[in-house]
Amino acid sequence: MKCIIVDDEPLARVGLNMLLEEYQNIKIIGSFSKAAEALAFLVNKSVDLIFLDIRMPGINGIDFARSIRKNAMIIFITAHAEHALDSYEVEAIDYLVKPINRNRFHRAVNKAIEYSDLLKNNSVDSSVEFLNNYIMVRADRQFVKVDMNTILYIEGLKDYVIIFLVDGERILTNLNLRTIHNQLSLDYFIRVSKSYIVNISYISSFDNNIIKILDRDIPIGNIYRDEFLDKLVRKSHKK
């Protein structure tokens, strides 16, 4: 997996280099202090993963993310936690706050590796059929029957959708998130950001910004927050 680092802080770039030395399957092919330099580099080079700061002189990280090829995964790394929700609106794979926690960093990188492997090892198809309480998804050259009650959440990743199940299985298809959301039961599923649909039944906790499902933190997008909170409050009052 080829990656680049884009951060205006020299020590941050050095630290990322050191952390990435543990990964033999990740090769750093560029390190930049300015987003404009990285954009010029990417004109002739393709990468799989970008470690990206947000607040930089000139082009900021969010605008940079919007302007690059969509097949590159992005992990934002910044000192400003208030930008976390913005990062998911540009489909970042993860968001880390400085100073970087080593275990949290490895979790983010391993997620990127897993997603890369998932894309490479599956034959992606867009066929899906909704039938009562289950869906038939064509994925990896076969039809998979999925009981809707077993869906934890659905994540949009670039041009693909990953369906996460309670047994740990993940199903990949290149349907867009809106198509699937329009067919799911609104009693149990709700879209909470540009990148996520969650099954309300599996939410263990939430606040104004984050939903907890098992060990996963799922961000709530600004434009979806009121609808989500209203629905959860109404459901809790009915119990």
Q: Say whether pTM exceeds 0.95.
A: no
Q: Is CATH 3.30.450.40 the classification given to domain 128-238? A: no
| CATH code linked to domain 2-121 | 3.40.50.2300
CA triple 69-74-79, angle to 5 deg: 135
Least confident of 88-92, 110-114, 160-164: 88-92
Beta strands 160-165 and 151-157 are antiparallel
Residue pointed to by tokens 């997996």: 1
Query: CB burial class (10 A; 0-12, 13-18, 19+) of residue 236?
Result: exposed
Are the C-beta atoms of residues 69 and 76 closer than 8 Å to each other?
no
Work out the percent of the chain whose per-residue pLDDT is above 90: 44
Q: How far apart are CA 75 and CA 94, in angstroms?
A: 5
Please report, for the chain, the start and end positions of each structural domain, with discontinuous segments joined by +: 2-121, 128-238
Please tell me what DSSP assigns to residue 46: -
Prior bond of 99 cis (ω within 30°): yes
The per-residue DSSP string of 113-131 comes to: HHHHHHHHHS-----EEEE
The confidence band for 117, taking pLDDT boundaries of 50, 70 and 90, is confident
pLDDT digits (tens, 9 = 90+) for 124-173: 555 566 667 888 877 667 788 889 899 999 998 777 888 999 999 888 88
| Count of positions (residues) in the chain | 239
Neighbours of 165 (CB within 10 A): 15
Alpha-carbon dihedral 188, 174, 137, 198, rounded to 10 degrees: -10
Check residues 84 and 67 and name the one with the higher pLDDT: 67
Q: Please tell me the predicted confidence (pLDDT) of residue 238.
A: 56
Q: Please tell me the predicted confidence (pLDDT) of residue 5.
A: 97
Q: Please tell me the predicted confidence (pLDDT) of residue 34.
A: 94
The confidence band for 215, taking pLDDT boundaries of 50, 70 and 90, is confident
Q: Please tell me the predicted confidence (pLDDT) of residue 15.
A: 94
Q: How far apart are CA 127 and CA 130, in angstroms?
A: 10
Single-letter amino acid code for the residue at 20: L
71 contacts: CB under 8 Å, gap ≥ 6? 46, 48, 158
